[in-house]
Amino acid sequence: MSSTRRIPFVDLVSEQSLLGKEIEKAISDVLNEGSFTLGSYVRKFEEEFASFCGVDYAVGVGSGTDALHLALRALGVGPGDEVITVPNTFIATVEAIIMSGARPVFVDIGKDTYLMDVSQLEGAITEKTKAIIPVHLYGQPADMGDICRIAAEHDLKVVEDACQAHGASIGGVRTGSFGDAACFSFYPSKNLGGIGDGGVVVTNSKDVSDRIVRLRNHGEQGKYNHVEPGFCSRLHGIQAAVLRVKLKHLDRWNKARRYNARIYDLLFEDTPIVRPLCRDSNDHVYHLYVIRVGNRDGLKQHLANLNIETGIHYPVPLHMHKWLKEYGYSKGDFPVTEMMADDILSLPMFPELKESDIERVVAEVVNFSLNGSKVA
């Protein structure tokens, strides 16, 4: 029956099948050349992705987490430093800070966009602060104008966590080109996803680029000339070849995501559902379409019973994870983030999502919410 047909949260199979021949040829080319780790396909992808972002350099690495970690190290962040970010993000953001030897410092988010509340940023800066990581969450850029202004006033580095914002922009300027460095993930479910893990750091600094090139490959500068301790975090040739194929389609896919988000927005008008707010100057790419609802867990189960898949990004704020208690945070420290964590629900979102499926999802969400489940 159509009413029980599965609506996936994300559909990676459709994307791959639409590009099947192109992807197969790209993989075959790599296999025939034998350029499996780094190599010509990685170099070509780095050049193309740097151009896409409007920056001078791109360095492929093993994952988005590695990109954040190595970017911080390349910018001189280390033990004794503090790095400011938000508690409403994936754990990798804070893992990277800790792996660099620094201390994570959180500021709360805004209730309207779920992004860093810039009005609280200066209050978190101390003499130990070395960098800021604004997170372009769910596909929407953070307020980079004010963030970069404050960073410049305090001589701080800025690393954009753009792992969910491939192709997003502010006033026509792409994410990745605002900070001292920016980091993207190519995890398969991203707007630009590979067929496994992968990541990249983009920057306009040759020094930063050169340092990450060394760090990703055991600190090597020339064959067997290891000038510093490094890591094994190299983008693979097959991943780069697949990403080159997909990059050509990314703008079209992002346009489809925005179209789907617009349908959601229109259908949710005049309902109890709190929709995501997109700033007028932002070009949101809707990696996720996140609403706020009352009785979120009940709604999630209701939709699951109807074969409609959803997600929660993220159910536990970072400062409330047990292993982060050593940094002195506790429940109540970031009330907006904590409130959002109880209410947010991510609905199905991918370029190939059918309008009829969106209509079905919205109808079920609204019907459930009208039965007495509203947000505060």
* Domain limits, the chain: 13-247, 249-370
Q: Where are the beta strands (DSSP E) in the chain?
A: 57-61, 82-85, 103-106, 129-132, 157-161, 169-170, 173-174, 181-185, 199-203, 282-283, 289-292, 344-347
Per-residue confidence (pLDDT) for residue 27, from 0 to 100? 95
Looking at 59-63, 168-172, 331-335, 367-371, which range is the least confident one?
367-371
- Are 86 and 116 in contact by the 8 Å Cβ rule? The answer is yes
CA-to-CA dists, residue 6 to 47, 227, 238, 303, 306, angstroms? 39, 54, 32, 10, 8
User: Residue 373 corresponds to which amino acid?
Assistant: S
Q: Where are the beta strands (DSSP E) in 37-78?
A: 57-61
Q: Identify the CATH number of the domain defined by range 249-370.
A: 3.90.1150.10
pLDDT given at position 370: 86
Per-residue b or e along 99-117, where b marks 16 or more CB atoms closer than 10 Å to that residue's CB: bbebbbbbbbbbeebbbbb
Interstrand relation of 199-203 and 173-174 (parallel, antiparallel or unpaired): unpaired
Query: Is the per-residue pLDDT at 244 higher than 90?
Result: yes
- Least reliable range by pLDDT among 119-128, 241-250, 270-279, 354-363: 270-279
Of 17-26, 270-279, 335-344, which one has max mean pLDDT? 335-344
What's residue 86's pLDDT? 98
Confidence of residue 375 (pLDDT cuts 50, 70, 90): low
* Confidence tier at 226 by pLDDT (50, 70, 90): confident
Q: Which pLDDT value is given to residue 35?
A: 86
Angstrom distance (rounded) from CA 24 to CA 310: 31
pLDDT of residue 206: 98
For residue 372, pLDDT over 70 is answered with: no
Distance CA 89, CA 111 (A): 15
Instruction: Place 18 in a pLDDT band, splitting at 50, 70 and 90.
Output: confident
**Span 24-31, average pLDDT:** 95
pLDDT band at 376 (very low <50, low <70, confident <90, very high): low
- H/E run at residue 56: none
What's the average model confidence in pLDDT over 164-186?
Answer: 97
- Please work out, in degrees rounded to the nearest 5, the angle formed at the alpha carbon of residue 252 by the alpha carbons of 247 and 256: 130
Please give the average per-residue pLDDT across 25-54, as a whole number: 95
CA dihedral 303, 252, 184, 246 (to 10 degrees): 100
For range 342-368, the mean pLDDT: 97
| Same fold for the pair 13-247 and 249-370 | no
pLDDT digits (tens, 9 = 90+) for 129-147: 999 999 999 999 999 999 9
Rounded Cα distance between 210 and 133, Å, is 21
Q: Tokens at residue 32, please? A: 């025939």
> How does strand 157-161 pair with strand 181-185?
parallel
Q: Of 194, 206, 172, 226, which is closest to residue 15 (Cα–Cα)?
A: 194
- For residue 53, pLDDT over 80 is answered with yes
Q: How far apart are the first and last CA of the chain?
A: 36
Phi, psi of 306 (to 5 degrees): -95, 10
User: What letter does residue 274 receive in the DSSP assignment?
Assistant: B
Q: What is the CATH number of domain 13-247?
A: 3.40.640.10
Average pLDDT of the residues of the chain:
95
